[in-house]
A and B are shown apart, each in its own frame.
Chain A
């Protein structure tokens, strides 16, 4: 079993839809959870960073962590064609001590 599982997609949604992207993980020691956005032929850029359980909101983006279920989500409200990209989840036990583990990424297409 992979440490981090993420559906590769592609996920196609109409403009304005609410998008839900998810990752599951197996290692209960993970405490730091990140979401990266990666446009085609570009490097990943950090979108959201959450420590432990709970929700975090930033504009149209909301990150949720449910440690009891080992499940994290990224919600995108009012999705735009410019949101079309691959979304990678990443997690860490302790920065500096352990490395990030990335999911495989979910390709999202927002149709105009």
Chain B
């Protein structure tokens, strides 16, 4: 069974530039999560989708971050414009459904903002 795929794996940008990350969850998984993991910290949930609807985006900085999950499969997370403090690893995870605790994580995208 293929795992969660993410791209790109690494990205370096200047502050105020835009960046987008892509995630393809495990086939059949209805729930998709985007996490931000700053160095030395645990992952922090940014947004959670159930199919193509948003379940929780309370910790998403909506003035600069946006995410979508068209057709309830792939998802993209965008930052526009980026700030220095956005430097982090962005992890995508998926689970069978909302009621399941087991989340499967992708390898992450490491973002460096200069």
Contact = CB atoms under 8 A, between A and B. Distances in A.
Contact of A43 (B48, B102, B108): B108
A43 B93 contact: yes
A32 B101 contact: yes
Interface stretch (A14-22, A60-68, A70-78, A102-110): A102-110
B1 interface: no
- Which of under 10, 10 to 19, 20 to 34, or 35 or more describes the interface residues of A? 20 to 34
Interface residues of B, number: 25
A104 to B, nearest CB: 5
The CB with the most chain B CB atoms within 10 A, among A43, A45, A90, is that of: A43
A16 B108 CA distance: 31
Nearest to B110: A41
12 contacts: A45-B104, A45-B105, A46-B102, A46-B103, A49-B101, A49-B102, A92-B101, A96-B99, A99-B48, A100-B43, A100-B103, A105-B41
B42 interface: yes
Interface of A: 4, 6, 8, 32, 34, 41-46, 49, 88, 90, 92, 95-96, 99-100, 102-105
Given A43-B93, A95-B98, A96-B98, A90 B42 contact: yes
